[in-house]
Amino acid sequence: MTKYRARKTGGFDSKKEFERFMVLKDREKKGKISNLETQKPFLLIDKNPFFRSVKYIADFVYTENGQQVIEDVKGYRRGQAYQLFKIKQKLMYEKYKILVKEI
């Protein structure tokens, strides 16, 4: 259990994330989405002599209507972890022009 009382379920960090995966798998099976991936890393800032690289790891990435969709499942929208996500969400848009959807 994490500090926000999330329990790992089905290999995912929370029950909510697992339930979203099941919904997306069903949509993929029905042909509504394709190329579903989990825990896909995106490089936000390259490594340099002073700092290591900065990455964002997306909960889910898939294709819908020819567009790449990136989702991040959030159960708790406060605290440092959420603030870090908001910064990475902005960096994802700045670098890749993709708005990460919060679920």
pLDDT in tens, 59-93: 999 999 999 999 999 987 888 989 999 999 999 99
Asked, for residue 8, whether it belongs to a domain, the answer is no
Residue 6: pLDDT band (50, 70, 90) is low
d(CA 27, CA 40): 19
Query: Hey, what are 31's tokens?
Result: 């042909």
Asked, for residue 91, whether it belongs to a domain, the answer is yes
Is pLDDT of 9 > 80? no
Q: How many domains does the chain have?
A: 1
d(CA 79, CA 38): 24
Mean pLDDT, rounded, for 24-38: 98
Residue 4: pLDDT band (50, 70, 90) is low
Asked, for residue 4, whether it belongs to a domain, the answer is no
Asked, for residue 10, whether it belongs to a domain, the answer is no
Residue range(s) defining the domain that contains residue 93: 15-102
Tell me the whole-structure pTM to 2 decimals: 0.86
